[in-house]
Copies of this chain bind each other. A is one copy, B any other.
Amino acid sequence: MRDVQFQTSYLIHPAGSCLASYGDTKVICTVSLEDRVPSFLEGRGCGWLTAEYGMLPGSTGGGRKQREIGKRDGRSTEIQRLIGRSLRASVDMEKLGERTLTVDCDVIQADGGTRTASVSGGWVALYEALSALAEREGRGGADYYLKGQLAAVSVGIVDGQVVCDLDYAHDSRAEVDMNIVKLEEAFVELQGTGEKGTFSSEQLASLIAAADEGLTFIFQKQRDALKIDSGFTFRQ
């Protein structure tokens, strides 16, 4: 497990912001809030959350990454859909009301796990934005709008061994690669890919066990950063 850090209130303009680090992977997560919803939700009294993911040109090893001007690449699209679905699962959209949260995750340095750092850091920035909203609206705290605490970690099988929170060196050699997002104890997303080698039910069980350990560690780091009391329980 690499070191994990969440630097809150990282930028001055957004409603919430966080610099999330999983080892050398660094992602700026920002949240903005608008008082309207996409047209397909108008008039239902429910809110919405959408996410976008990008990588700065200088973020990657092995040469500069071209900007996605002109078209979004497939990998970014897939990742931002995962981030959006995950974070939506943590928000009580009826409590939020007709508002849209936009979570931007911009990778400034990549070393594996950018999507999991984005989900966990995105949740920290979300908590910050919802705390400010709760204060304006007299709602106690961010937890009023939240169904629980959410984080993500990657696990994989590298040289036959289960590894948690893969860096780039691991990731590029992994036979199996799985991203797990949990809301408290429950799965929100489970995405396992065995493009270079398939996996059995037994291996699946080991991967999930390793992820659970990693998530316990990350949940604590989020609480430390946000100064959430360790005894605090999100009602669900």
Residues of A within 8 A of B (CB): 11-14, 17, 24, 28, 30-32, 34, 52, 54, 56-61, 63-64, 67-72, 74-75, 77-78, 80-81, 85, 88-89, 102, 104, 106, 108-110, 178, 182-183, 185-195, 198-201, 204, 208
Contacts and interface: CB of A to CB of B under 8 A. Distances in A.
Nearest to A31: B58
Given A57-B32, A58-B14, A58-B17, A194 B200 contact: no
A232 B199 CA distance: 23
A28 B78 CA distance: 24
A30 B54 contact: no
Contacts of A190: 178, 190-192, 204
A60 to B, nearest CB: 6
Contacts of A102: 57, 64
Nearest to A200: B186
Nearest to A186: B198
**Nearest 6 Cβ contacts at the A-B interface:** A30-B58, A186-B198, A32-B64, A14-B58, A190-B192, A57-B104
Contact of A13 (B72, B109, B191, B195): B109
Contact of A71 (B71, B89, B194): B71
A9 to B, nearest CB: 12
22 contacts: A11-B58, A11-B59, A11-B108, A30-B57, A34-B64, A52-B57, A54-B67, A58-B104, A64-B104, A69-B69, A69-B70, A72-B74, A74-B80, A75-B81, A77-B77, A78-B81, A89-B198, A186-B194, A187-B194, A187-B204, A188-B195, A191-B191
